[in-house]
Amino acid sequence: MDPIRNPYAPGAGQRPPELAGRDEQLTAFEVVLERVARGRPERSLVLTGLRGVGKTVLLNALRSAAVRKGWGTGKLEARPDQSLRRPLSSALHQAVRELGHPEPDEADHVLGVIRSFAQREAGADAKLRDRWSPGIAAPAVRGRADSGDVEIDLVELLTDVGGLAADVGKGVAVFIDEMQDLGTDDVSALCAACHELSQNGLPVIVVGAGLPHLPAVLSASKSYSERLFSYQRIDRLSREAADRALVAPAAEEEAAFTPDALAAMYDATRGYPYFIQAYGRSVWDLAPRTPITADDVAVAGPEAEAELAVGFFGSRYERATPAERDYLRAMADAAVASSDDGVEDPVGSVATADVAGVLGKKPQSLSPARDALLKKGLIYSGERGRIAFTVPHFGRYLRTQA
């Protein structure tokens, strides 16, 4: 069918033509926004899930919901080895602009605090620090949010931003993607600041998204984090939602799927959003006419898998060094060996000792590779001594590589 009218959107953070199966989170967030704006105590949302399940897309949708309510919003993506100060300053700068406070002096004061927070970048590279500017015209406010202790500074910063939002009867929401990559000091400061703000009833919330071990990262830093955040596991879509993700965008273009075709699609994609978009894209291009049939799905399979191999699996695999790739492949082998029926659970975990066994090496000698893979977000550890792929079906992909 006409590729120009192809509605599907495989790709990291690509807005899907139909955001299926996330009504629960969207509704919960509306309640959070209303309560926070009224100064009621409310836990913030943290979305967790595997790669490609749609965390970034959902985070963006939540942000849009906040913008529709007139909130000030900002977003950042955490990176390993990067301090929170600069990206958070940019996000809050944006949020304050969006709030549109009627008193320029008040807004400028808060912008000055954001600037002083940003400029208090810890670290040795003074030259870089001098050159970097947060793009804020207001002068830095000395003595506020610039103590150098990120916990104190964050509380002061968010208190001032929250005060500004409360003035206009709105709120501020900060969205943090890849939240598991925040440094330990920043995580614990952020938890402490959220704790403080919610006690004071200030309308500021942090909404996070990250890999499945994010709750463990947060609770390792502050034990009360479980009471601070409401964790929402973002998973593959149910059959019904997966069908809707395919059917609704097709209907917009006056096309349809036969029931068999939808069953075949679910069989192939298992309801993983990224796979749904990739298969949708391929089957649309290859199907001669509407309705799309199960035969069309069978024909499109290899092309969809080829697209996934490059766009989804390959792009992650390439980030691993040769030693890390050996480790990944050994994980895939260990997953098959340790399963009862020789069929690996697509998201199951394996014992690190078994991986070492496959490679015939001592577990300690493999820690550098394992740690690097954890840091690159290719694997995660949900429980001690066990690891799993963050990318669904990664094991199967690796075995077709060999």
Contact positions vs ligand ATP (CB under 6 A): 9-14, 16, 19-22, 49, 51-57, 245, 273-274, 276-277
What residues line the site for Mg ion (CB under 5 A)? 56
The answer to whether residues 111 and 138 touch, using CB atoms and an 8 Å cutoff, is yes
| Partner from Mg ion, ligand ATP, none binding residue 245, C-beta < 5-8 Å depending on class | ligand ATP
DSSP state string for 222-282:
-TTHHHHEEEEE--PPPHHHHHHHHHHHHHHTT--B-HHHHHHHHHHHTT-HHHHHHHHHH
Choose between 211 and 287: whose C-beta lies nearer to ligand ATP. Answer: 211
- State the nearest-atom distance from the C-beta of 55 to ligand ATP, in Å: 3
Q: Which does 280 bind (CB under 5 to 8 A by kind): Mg ion, ligand ATP, none?
A: none
Give the separation between CA 392 and CA 258, rounded to whole angstroms.
27
Q: Cβ closer to Mg ion: 56 or 269?
A: 56
> CA distances (Å), 15 to each of 82, 273, 274, in order?
27, 11, 11
Helix, strand or coil for residue 349?
Answer: strand
The two structure tokens encoding residue 237: 């879509």
Q: Which residue's beta carbon is nearest to the bound ligand ATP? A: 54
Distance from C-alpha of 110 to C-alpha of 108, rounded to nearest angstrom: 5
Contacts of 125 (CB under 8 A, 6+ apart): none
**Other CB atoms within 10 A of residue 67 CB:** 13
The entry of ligand ATP, Mg ion, none that residue 274 binds, CB within 5 to 8 Å by partner kind: ligand ATP
As measured in angstroms, the least distance from the Cβ of 230 to Mg ion is 20
**Interstrand relation of 204-210 and 172-177 (parallel, antiparallel or unpaired):** parallel
Residue nearer to Mg ion on the CB measure, 271 or 273? 273
- The answer for residues whose C-beta is within 8 angstroms of residue 388's C-beta and 6 or more apart is 212, 347, 348, 349, 350, 379, 380, 381, 382
Q: Residue 212 binds which one of ligand ATP, Mg ion, none, with CB within 5 to 8 A depending on kind?
A: none
Residue placing its CB nearer to Mg ion in the complex, 12 or 343 = 12
208 binds, among Mg ion, ligand ATP, none (CB under 5 to 8 A by kind): none
Judged by CB, which is closer to ligand ATP: 164, or 308? 308
- What does the block give as tokens for 312? 């989804």
State how far the Cα of 360 lies from the Cα of 345, in Å rounded to an integer.
23
Tell me which of Mg ion, ligand ATP, none is bound by residue 88, counting a contact when its beta carbon lies within the kind-specific cut-off of 5 to 8 angstroms.
Answer: none
Q: Which is nearer to ligand ATP, 117 or 275 (CB)?
A: 275
Min CB(2)–ligand ATP separation in Å: 20
- d(CA 278, CA 284) in angstroms, rounded, equals 10
Q: Nearest distance from residue 56's CB to Mg ion, in Å?
A: 3
Q: Which does 392 bind (CB under 5 to 8 A by kind): Mg ion, ligand ATP, none?
A: none
Shortest spacing between CB 16 and ligand ATP, in angstroms: 3
Q: How far is the CB of 52 from Mg ion (least distance, A)?
A: 8
Q: To the nearest whole angstrom, how small is the minimum distance from the Cβ of residue 336 to ligand ATP? A: 24
Helix, strand and coil percent figures for the chain, each rounded to 5: 55, 10, 35
Residue 143 interacting entry, from Mg ion, ligand ATP, none, C-beta within 5 to 8 Å by type: none
| Beta carbon nearer to ligand ATP, 60 or 90 | 60
Q: How far is the CB of 111 from Mg ion (least distance, A)?
A: 29
Of 56 and 198, CB closest to Mg ion: 56
What CA–CA distances, in Å, run from 207 to 75, 232, 246, 379?
A: 9, 11, 28, 23
Report cis status (omega within 30 of 0) of the bond before 291: yes
Point out the residue whose Cβ comes nearest to Mg ion.
Answer: 56
Q: Is 344 helix (H, G, I), strand (E, B) or coil?
A: coil
Which lies closer to ligand ATP via its Cβ, residue 57 or residue 76?
57
Nearest distance in Å: CB 376, Mg ion: 14
